[in-house]
Amino acid sequence: MESSESAVPLLPELPESKKKGKIIPGRLAKEVWEESKKLWEVVGPAVFMQLAIYTMIVISQAFVGHLGDRDLAAFSIANTVIDGLSFGFLLGMASALETLCGQAYGAKQYHMLGIYMQRSWIVLLAFAVLLAPIYVFSEQIMIALGMPAQLSREAGLISLYMLPSLFLYAILLPVNRFLQCQLKNWVTAVATAVVFPVHIVVTWLLVQYFELGVLGAAIGLNLSWTLFMVLQLAYALGGGCPETWIGFSASAFVDLKEFVMLSTSSGVMVCLDNWYYRILIFLTGYMKNAELAVDALSICMSLSGWEMMIHLGFLAGTGVANELGAANGQGARFATFVSTTTSFLISLFISFLTLVFHDKLALIFTSSEAVINAVDDISVLLALTILLNGVQPVLSGVAIGSGSQALVAYVNIGSYYLIGIPFGVLLGWGFNYVYLYASAENTSFNIEQQEYTRSVLLD
């Protein structure tokens, strides 16, 4: 969940050197330092929230990974593909609230935020009902698509246990956006800090103490999402937002058709960016020795995604820098330079650690020697992907700040679906590589996005 603390100004006043269209060398270090401090005020809370929430999923995967290779593969398919695809779509639909609630809050029509949230609940719950059969019949769907029968059976059972999360998402995501649009991200941060340790304890109890195994991990996620939802609802509806929440209203049922159209289009746009990794996990299930392939790829993607949470926080900061610097090209370039450099240096450091501990990366998730060796074999590609992660979100922030979301969507389609996945399939089946799926897509996306961003900044 991305932070919307972008109302915090990164550039409240442009330095004299940039107002004149140049940077004075003697002031450069000071200006970089000041810009960095303001940047971290924006990205800090976002990084914390996203890291903690993603770590909850990694913890569940780690507990399952130590049960066995097949358990890890089945959980990865159920959590990453079935549950992940649904979450991505509902997340995209909920993002429509960012536009509507943001506009209403800016226009001081505070009561409309509560109505929009209720309207989003209605729409997302309706779509959750439509998506529920995917969970119920996931075993049959995977078998029909040619997945191994035993793997499909276990993944299908896990998907059934994850079904409650689908409806939790439909309630949680709108209230999260409702709070973010009021710059109350601290509520989500506090809720995250409470849920995180609870999730660790609950997962250990269910998986290890009560010996429920992989199903215990799924139940643990449901309980953690429930607590996360309850805490935010308690604040939003319990008096924490007196101006924006005035109670349930019949107005929530007005203009539902237009709201559905806006939410659906937002869902599709986000899904284009969200689904491709999950499609790769699914395709890996068709490879020779599918369990080992899925385990190795899912572990690498979990590590890459985990590190990616840091850089997603920079997306908000970069978007603000572009918005505030729109009247001054030098100001926009300077803010972009600071955020891109900071994000890249972080990814460079973590990429270096990946190479240093290349043979120990999978120990968090599994004790299987075969899986550990498989991850070790592709650790260089993992390091490369992590390195590219440090640039991609910041460049996305530049594009979003320039109002070019539609062009970014075309970049996503071209990079991920027309180049990345077909090229990954060729490498996977033709040359028996696994992780080159993600590496090919990430490289393609970054090259195209860098070229586009360069054109935006130079215009």
Residues 6+ apart with CB under 8 A from 256: 119, 122, 123
Note the pLDDT of residue 298: 76
pLDDT digits 0-9 by tens, 212-266: 999 999 999 999 999 999 999 999 999 999 999 999 999 889 888 888 887 776 6
Q: How far apart are CA 113 and CA 108, in angstroms?
A: 10
For the chain, which residues make up each domain, given as ranges?
10-51+287-459, 66-274
Q: How far apart are CA 272 and CA 94, in angstroms?
A: 15
pLDDT(20) > 50: no
C-alpha closest to that of 382 among 305, 449, 319: 305
C-alpha closest to that of 221 among 82, 83, 369: 83
Could you tell me if 377 and 358 are in contact, meaning their C-beta atoms sit under 8 angstroms apart? Answer: no
Q: What is the pTM of this model?
A: 0.71
pLDDT digits 0-9 by tens, 61-82: 889 988 887 888 889 888 877 8
Q: How far is CA 68 from CA 79, 147, 367, in A?
A: 16, 19, 8
pLDDT digits 0-9 by tens, 142-160: 898 777 888 899 999 999 9
